[in-house]
Amino acid sequence: MNALHDVATEFPPQADLVRPREVESPGYWRQVRNRLSRDPVTIGAGTVLALIVLSALLAPLLAPYDPYQGSIMTRMKPVGFEGHPLGTDETGRDMLSRLLYGGRVSLLAGVAPVAAALAIGGTLGVVAGFFGGLVNTLIMRVTDVFYAFPSILLAIAICGLLGAGLVNTLISLTLVFIPPIIRISESVTTQVRAYDFVEAARASGARPMQLIRHQVLANVLGPILVYATSLVSLSIILAAGLSFLGLGVTPPTAEWGLMLNALRQAIYIDPVLAALPGAMIFVTSMCFNLISDGLRGAMDVRIRT
Amino acid sequence: MKHEAIIDEPMVEVRDLHVSFGKGAGAVRAVNGVSFALRKGEVLGVLGESGSGKSVMLRTLLGLLPAHARTEGTVTVAGQPVLSLPPDALRRLRGSTVAMIFQEPMTAFDPVFTIGRQIAETIMRHDRVGRDAAMKRAQELLELVAIPSAKGRLANYPHEMSGGMRQRAMIALALACRPSVLLADEPTTALDVTVQIQILLLLRRLQAELDMAVVFVTHDIGVAVEISDRIGVMYAGRFVEEAPIEALVDAHAHPYTRGLLASTVHGQRKGERLETIPGAPPNLAALPPGCAFAPRCRHADDRCRAEAPEPRVVGPSHVARCHHLSAGR
């Protein structure tokens, strides 16, 4: 260190030549937060989503009625009916209560499979991309086989094999989302691996695991996370679709897809009522998509603020 | 004295190095028998066109070649046989004893971490120090390479710096663990001319102060003359001429060196038409049997086309590979 010290004192930095403004850069996550706070669309979507999540969590407190208790006397009452602000369904159950409770299952079906697929698929993809060669071929060709099926078809096939039920729905959706996440993570990893800074790190003596942790993961996590967020909405819709087909959760569970299915036949009697669960699915997935869009912009440090 | 013997030991010694990619007839022979020795505190400039094998040669010194590269010969860096070193020992050597500066500082820094963090990370990789101590040293390094308000710059991302500033930071990164050998791969090529000279002067100053052995690869003869003690002119994977800097400029022996010097812009030759070397560098997958420069050389005869010239001594530590040594003058 001594030699360095000597040189440093002998050649003082030329700071006094030009007086630079103090360049204090905020931390990464604060920078991301700053950018998000200046993006009204993402904030709006985030607020709406937070409300939906909160209302699902607090459903037992908020729901005015038992979501499973109907009355034959009050079937198919329209929105705004006395005592039932959002009307009642085909067996006289309170729509508002059922929508609140339904959010719990639907949100779980949206987030859990994507999170699981992110952990499994992300790991496989990064490994395939980083090590290349035979490892890559093995992982990617198997992925291709699964990728060849349309996602809804694959979900139906796996669900049909496992049987109906919430857990089986989550498993089948996880399996459906693993291949596309492998694909994305493999391609961004391959791209990052070719950059000079990976070689530079290797030239300064980094081990493969250090390379993956610092150089690769940090550069790859953003894009993969953004892509995964966009899958959440798809997952909600697929889960709803599986329930709709009778492969997902089973009646009388309150779930948006299932409710949509049941009210489908009532569409000529009261279209507004029938559209309510669909609207919830739409709004929730839209929120996730908008947030993923906002994150994409905010998490890229290379875009100047 | 024992001490002197250690100093005289070359920091870098390359003997008859061959590097090729692929097998059989289609093999690309990037380096074809390079030998040189470099002492402590000495700067060797490696001058050559694109595709002359200079970058491959440089990467070999760090053992950074891809797995399918085939090497022959010996490379000794700081007493360690790089080509036969186990991966762990090679990693310990990289960054601590031997460091490298890259051509493009924008892509050689990881875009998602701050400069300070990246320098500190390298320090912590080799020395057992905590993050705070490493950061403090990173700041000293930025001061060493004359980056103003170093403390604030530590928190900068690579894209928040200018090109010259980034290259300074790159040098700071390379010096993080006080290497005794510095490898520079065209570190000034991506910079504009005024910044180029600043970086060269900085490198020269640091090299002298820290007594490093430097291998400086460039295609710019002006840059090579500015920084080097000796220059090796590389053509088709060989040193066609190696000489101390004055000898190379005033008494170059090889026609290729003459061609390079004649095609360089400089002030005293205003108004003259620049000479060019006709033709293009040879395909490294299909080298001519004789002298690799023969197809472009105006002095070439049948002997040149049939038989590759061996290095011949021209003057004190001045060697050239040519059958017509006088023709180059």
Per-residue pLDDT tens digits for B23-65: 877 888 889 889 999 998 899 999 988 888 888 999 899 888 8
Size of interface A-B (CB pairs under 8 A): 124
Tokens for B153, please give them.
Answer: 């710059």
Q: For residue A133, with 0-12 CB atoms within 10 Å meaning exposed, 13-18 middle and 19 or more buried, which class applies?
A: exposed
Tokens for B198, please give them.
Answer: 């600043």
Band (B214; pLDDT cuts 50, 70, 90):
very high
**Alpha-carbon torsion angle A190, A191, A193, A197, nearest 10:** -170
Among B110, B201, B210, the residue to mutate for chain A (most A Cβ within 10 A): B110
pLDDT at B6 over 80: no
**Cα–Cα dist B195/B167, whole Å:** 10
Nearest CA to A103 out of A294, A236, A297, A298 is that of: A236
Stretch 18-57 of chain B: residues touching chain A, C-beta under 8 Å: none
Question: Could you read off the pLDDT of B94-120 as tens digits, one per residue?
Answer: 888 899 988 887 788 888 888 898 999
Question: pLDDT tens, position by position, for chain A (305 residues)?
Answer: 445 455 444 444 444 444 444 444 556 677 778 888 888 888 999 999 999 898 888 878 877 777 777 777 777 777 777 777 777 777 778 888 888 888 888 888 888 999 999 999 999 999 999 888 899 999 999 998 888 888 888 888 888 898 888 888 899 999 999 999 999 999 999 888 888 888 888 888 888 888 888 788 878 887 888 888 888 878 888 888 888 788 878 777 888 888 887 888 888 888 888 888 888 888 988 888 888 888 877 776 555 44
Which pLDDT does position B65 carry in this prediction? 85
Q: Lay out the sheet containing B28-38: strands in order across.
A: B28-38, B12-21, B69-77, B80-81
Residue in B148, B156, B209 closest to A13 by CB: B148
Architecture of the structural domain at B12-267+276-320: 3-Layer(aba) Sandwich (3.40)
The answer, for B256 touching chain A at a CB cutoff of 8 Å, is no
What is the separation, in whole angstroms, between the first and last Cα of chain B? 42
Residue B125 near residue A206 (C-beta atoms within 8 A): yes
Which pLDDT does position A184 carry in this prediction? 92
Which pLDDT does position B258 carry in this prediction? 86
Band (B193; pLDDT cuts 50, 70, 90):
confident
Residue in B64, B107, B150 closest to A202 by CB: B64
Tokens for A87, please give them.
Answer: 């009307």
Stretch 167-206 of chain B: residues touching chain A, C-beta under 8 Å: 173-176, 178, 205-206
pLDDT at B4 over 80: no
Residue in A11, A204, A214 closest to B99 by CB: A204
| Chain A residue at shortest CA distance from B102 | A200
Residue A99 near residue A69 (C-beta atoms within 8 A): no
| Chain A residue at shortest CA distance from B208 | A7
The structural domains of chain B, with segments of one domain joined by +, span: 12-267+276-320
Tokens for B321, please give them.
Answer: 């590979």
**Residue environment code for A52-63, b if the CB has 16+ CB neighbours within 10 A, otherwise e:** bbebbeebeeeb
Residue B94 with chain A: CB contacts under 8 Å: 202-205
Among A22, A29, A204, the residue to mutate for chain B (most B Cβ within 10 A): A204
Residue A7 with chain B: CB contacts under 8 Å: 144, 206, 209-210
The answer, for B69 touching chain A at a CB cutoff of 8 Å, is no
Higher pLDDT, B75 or A225: B75
Residue in B64, B125, B209 closest to A199 by CB: B64
**Alpha-carbon torsion angle A210, A211, A215, A218, nearest 10:** -50
Length of chain B in residues, anyone?
329
Q: What pTM did the predictor assign?
A: 0.74
- Cβ contacts of A117 within 8 Å, gap of 6 or more: A173, A174, A175, A176, A177, A178, A181, A228, A231
Which pLDDT does position A26 carry in this prediction? 57
Which whole-number Å values give the CA distances from A190 to A130, B185, B196, in the listed order?
6, 24, 33
Which pLDDT does position A115 carry in this prediction? 93
**Cα–Cα dist A89/B105, whole Å:** 65
Distance from CA of A43 to the nearest CA of B (A): 24
Distance from CA of A5 to the nearest CA of B (A): 8
**Cα–Cα dist A239/A220, whole Å:** 28
**Alpha-carbon torsion angle A244, A249, A250, A252, nearest 10:** -100
Does B176 sit within 8 Å of A204, measured CB to CB?
Answer: yes
Range B123-133 average pLDDT: 87
Band (B230; pLDDT cuts 50, 70, 90):
very high
pLDDT at B327 over 70: no
Q: Which residue has the tokens 């101390």?
A: B244
Does A4 sit within 8 Å of B178, measured CB to CB?
Answer: yes
Does B91 sit within 8 Å of A207, measured CB to CB?
Answer: yes
Residue A34 near residue A26 (C-beta atoms within 8 A): yes
Residue in A1, A3, A11 closest to B146 by CB: A11
Which pLDDT does position A21 carry in this prediction? 44
Residue B144 with chain A: CB contacts under 8 Å: 4, 7-8, 11
**Mean pLDDT, chain B, whole residue set:** 85
Distance from CA of B181 to the nearest CA of A (A): 12
Does A205 sit within 8 Å of B126, measured CB to CB?
Answer: yes
Domains and CATH numbers, chain A: 31-66+77-298 (1.10.3720.10)
**Alpha-carbon torsion angle A282, A284, A286, A290, nearest 10:** 180
- Whether a cis peptide bond, with omega within 30° of 0, leads into A252 is yes
Question: Could you read off the pLDDT of B239-280 as tens digits, one per residue?
Answer: 999 999 988 888 888 888 888 888 777 666 677 777 788 888
Residue B150 with chain A: CB contacts under 8 Å: 13
Nearest CA to A220 out of A190, A245, A199 is that of: A190
Residue B114 with chain A: CB contacts under 8 Å: 25
Does B112 sit within 8 Å of A219, measured CB to CB?
Answer: yes
Distance from CA of A203 to the nearest CA of B (A): 6
Which pLDDT does position A301 carry in this prediction? 59
Beta bridge partners of B232: B46, B242
Distance from CA of B29 to the nearest CA of A (A): 22
Tokens for B245, please give them.
Answer: 């800097």
CA atoms within 13 A on the CB side of B177: 24
Residue A17 with chain B: CB contacts under 8 Å: 148
